[in-house]
Amino acid sequence: MPEFDASAVAVVDRVARQERRALIAALTRRLGADRIDLIDDVAQEALLSALTLWPYQGVPEHPGAWLRRVAWNKALDILRRQARQTDLSDDVLESLALSDFRRQDAPFDDARLEVLALCTNQSLKPLDQILLALRLVGGLTNAESAEALLMQRDAVGQRLARATRRLARDDTLVVSLPSRAVLAQQTEQWCSVIYLMFSVGYLPRHGQTALRQDLCLEALDLARALTAETSVPAGTPHALAALLSFQCARLDARLAAGDRPTLLGDQDRMRWDPQRRQDGFRYLKQARAASREPSRIHLEAAIAGCYAAAPSYEQTDWPAIVRLHEVLGRVWPNPVTKVGHAVALVEAGRAPEALALLEPLRGDRQLAVYAPFAMALAHAYRAVGQEDDARAMLTEAEAMAVSESTRQHIDALLA
């Protein structure tokens, strides 16, 4: 009997994080999003098979291909057993068994983008499109999607079930490239989904870690893939790639010892990734050239560019960031945008204005579970010397859904 290689367990864990989303995308390309439960099941079984076999047999040279083959064979076995209850005929099953994961008529080179196109089927409501894409492309659980969208977990599950039933009535085995007008509309949805994926990784609200780098980098990779597709309208994808490049450039500097978040002003800028920073400015230039009017993502990318351009925190152009936030508030009048605006006001020496912006929002239902709002308000209170109010807001933030490392960071602020 082959010896057990304990080092392979860590490899399986890493490969699972790297390959799961691509595996689900590849399966969805062939089976359709209406079979979401089957896709999830066989993907999980393939990963469990890897965890069982690889420590003894060794990690395959191409682990992603191994997982796709195992998952697909399991899917075919299930479909054959259910052939009498499914709408797939024996001929279709046979053609699927012989087909390759990379169809010759596929509209995109990247399977994940093809699944994004499938998820943004115009027969679905916009919110359902986002939820389906977060599940199939982002690999998020219902709980993670609920947290990202400030929804109840049960409501997410119900909407996904209805969406997949709706898709089951359509032919989802073949994804055709939509017209350019429809594609332009879908691109906005795709960018929203990718941005939500990044947000879940950048600020997890549960668990032990304050940062999920794998999810952040996956979102950046998807944004870059969008910019490479000539059929996708330029502009917003480039702005998103710029924004995520700037943010991902700071990932290594964002955590201190003990996995605690490090505030921007305390980060070691020598640990910022120079290539991603440079990519951010390149994508931002392309986004500006391709768009007549700035979108929310254009403006957020420009704000991130101001941070990236500053040689030190003290030399940050806070007045410019405040002006950009003022425009952002008009383009996207959302309570969450006011949080970043308020922080910029505090740093620009205008803390009373920050309080005037934030205090009326204390009854907002969307912000009642959003810890950064309470922390921003605490920051503003401390800037004007209202220490008791600041400590009260930090206590409220700690009681919200935050990761364990963020809770430790709040404890340090309260000490």
What does the pLDDT look like over 202-218, one tens digit per residue?
876 665 566 788 889 98
pLDDT at 294: 86
pLDDT at 99: 46
**3-state SS class at 283:** helix
Q: Calculate mean pLDDT across residues 6-20.
A: 68
pLDDT digits (tens, 9 = 90+) for 219-242: 999 999 999 887 778 899 999 999
pLDDT digits (tens, 9 = 90+) for 242-300: 999 999 999 988 877 656 778 888 888 999 999 999 999 999 999 999 988 889 999 99
Residues in the chain: 415
pLDDT at 210: 66
Q: Calculate mean pLDDT across residues 116-127.
A: 79
CA distances from 149 to 158, 212, 399 (A): 15, 18, 19
Asked if the model's pLDDT at residue 102 lies above 50, the reply is: no
pLDDT at 103: 47
Of 113, 396, 117, 136, nearest to 145 (Cα)? 136
Of 13-22, 332-341, 366-375, the poorest mean pLDDT is in: 13-22
Helix axes 335-347, 371-383, angle to 10 degrees: 30
Asked if the model's pLDDT at residue 415 lies above 90, the reply is: no
- Residue 286: count of CB within 10 angstroms of its CB: 18
Q: Exposure string (b/e) for 11-26, b if CB count within 10 Å is 16 or more?
A: bbeebbeebbbbbbbb
Asked if the model's pLDDT at residue 42 lies above 70, the reply is: yes
CA 28 vs. chain centroid, Å, equals 19
Distance CA 94, CA 104 (A): 18
Distance CA 172, CA 107 (A): 14
Asked if the model's pLDDT at residue 350 lies above 90, the reply is: yes
* Residue 370 φ/ψ, nearest 5 degrees: -105, 100
Asked if the model's pLDDT at residue 70 lies above 70, the reply is: yes
pLDDT digits (tens, 9 = 90+) for 363-376: 888 788 888 899 99
Helix axes 90-98, 63-81, angle to 10 degrees: 170
